[in-house]
Amino acid sequence: MNPGIVDELEKLLGSSSVLYQPEDTLLYEFDGSVEKGRPDIVVFPESTEKVSEIVKLAAKYNVPIVGRGAGTGLSGGALARTGGVMIVFARMNRILELDAENQRAVVQPGVVNYELTRAAEPHGLYFAPDPSSWKSCTIGGNVAENAGGPHTLAYGVTTNHVTALELVLPDGEIVRVGSKDGHTLGYDLTGLFVGSEGTLALISEITVKLSRKPEAVKTLLAIFDTVDDAADTVVDITARAITPSACEMLDGWTLRTVEDYIHAGFPMDSAAVLLIEVEGLTEAASEQVSAITEVCNAHHAREVRVASDNAERDLLWKGRKNAFGALGRMAPSNYVLDGVIPRSKLPQALRRIQQIGEQSGFPIGNIFHAGDGNLHPIILYDPRDAAQFERAREAAAHIIRYCVEVGGALTGEHGVGMEKSELMPLLFSDADFDLMRRIHDAFNPDSSLNPGKIFPLNKGCGEIRVRKHVGAIAVHL
């Protein structure tokens, strides 16, 4: 590491905002995934202008840059795969504007997802995207990964709620794309940057839509004695053109683990449950409850409960959103996957996941967004055992490959990052990669921003120019 860049960063930001000792940077080599990548330097800017100056210094010293929010990502997208400077946006955490009349908010990237909803609540508004980590994840990270959540089924993922962005390009230039009202003419550049995983620009400000709180919300818990009956219910709900705001599924093993920890009211003896939510006008919500109950009963639901009040509803959702923490009590670590399948393939996909778990020797829990086919199998393993870790990765790859084989996709909301970059050829041809590279190089020609992400390293890595940091010298592979 060239000490010159450290000196200049400390002059720019102050010594308390620059970390470079190994014991400090070690804390930033992890996120929520199983990947690792340690930065050489970690910095904490407080404004867009400071971000721009940091980027210019990194370019001067020819070192890569990685943006990071709260580090809750699950694909290694915010890790420094090739070292360099990590820009942590934790101190850029202000809500700059809350325009209740026009249902818009302007926020810095370090604003925590849930805190925006809390700020909007007095106006009868909320921010619809709600990843399970919503009480800790930041909106900048949500935008970079195009995060989803349980209510994606009705409201879409993050990109459906972003209207404008302020960006810092690899040369330090500050630009804006989109508009507050969301009706920008020409190319949809905002949509291009959402989900680009920090490989095109750093996001320094975000304008988002706020949604009006519905008149009525009803939460149902449907209890089944077989996994197939629960999965078939999801398929039938969709076939009947019923669109709940959320439709989540937990298999029996997972729900028992969650219930033992959260005490949310999940039945300990069932094979699976569906957590379904509907909302809207009071009469319409009641009609949907009746229609969904009818479908559940047609597929042999043992019981369909409707939460009696907000407290019971919140408890059910607490069980769902804290499930990963509950499973953490069962093994030293868990590997949370993210694959997508057609809803009609749910029953067979769950059977295949169980087979892969048995063949690999791992318990695999299933808790996922059943309504849109976004699976989140959870492999429980011990990362201290190298052989076990490799088996867990192999099992994960088998599951994701299966998702693609049945007509699905590699990821629904966690992103590609480091985790799935080598699996990208399952979905994309050389021509596809060529087009993506041309877009990438138009904004990030030297691969200075988040190198080694999204694109497979064994496919034209010379064209992507992944940098490896060696001492004070950056060499191109």
Together in a domain, 276 and 293 = yes
Number of C-beta neighbours around residue 121 at 10 A: 11
pLDDT single digits (tens) 383-392: 999 999 999 9
Q: Quick check: 473 pLDDT over 90?
A: no
Q: Is the dihedral of CA 286, 371, 224, 331 positive or negative?
A: negative
Confidence of residue 2 (pLDDT cuts 50, 70, 90): confident
Together in a domain, 116 and 49 = yes
Q: Is the dihedral of CA 160, 161, 166, 169 positive or negative?
A: negative
Number of domains composing the chain: 3
> Can you tell me the distance from the alpha carbon of 307 to that of 322, in angstroms, rounded to the nearest whole number?
18
Of 391, 420, 449, which one is at a domain's C-terminal end?
420
Cα-based torsion angle of the residue sequence 338, 341, 346, 350 in order, rounded to the nearest 10 degrees: -40
pLDDT, residue 328, reads 85
**Per-residue CA distances from 404 to 113, 342, 345, 350, 384 (Å):** 30, 10, 12, 14, 30
Q: Quick check: 477 pLDDT over 70?
A: no
Which residues form the domain of 243?
216-324
Of 324, 349, 368, which one is at a domain's C-terminal end?
324
Together in a domain, 53 and 202 = yes
pLDDT single digits (tens) 40-57: 999 999 999 999 999 999
pLDDT single digits (tens) 89-127: 999 999 999 999 999 999 999 999 999 999 999 999 999
In CATH, what number is assigned to the domain containing residue 400? 3.30.70.2740
Together in a domain, 246 and 115 = no
Together in a domain, 353 and 449 = no
Together in a domain, 115 and 241 = no
Together in a domain, 398 and 442 = no
Together in a domain, 416 and 472 = no
* Residue range 316-330: mean pLDDT, rounded: 90
Together in a domain, 63 and 122 = yes
In CATH, what number is assigned to the domain containing residue 223? 3.30.70.2190
What percent of the chain shows pLDDT beyond 70?
96
Together in a domain, 372 and 414 = yes
pLDDT, residue 173, reads 98
Confidence of residue 200 (pLDDT cuts 50, 70, 90): very high
Together in a domain, 255 and 285 = yes
Together in a domain, 229 and 177 = no
| CB-CB contact of 98 with 123 (8 Å) | yes
pLDDT, residue 325, reads 83
Q: Quick check: 474 pLDDT over 80?
A: no
Of 324, 358, 379, which one is at a domain's C-terminal end?
324
In CATH, what number is assigned to the domain containing residue 93? 3.30.465.10
Average pLDDT over all residues of the chain: 94
pLDDT, residue 459, reads 57
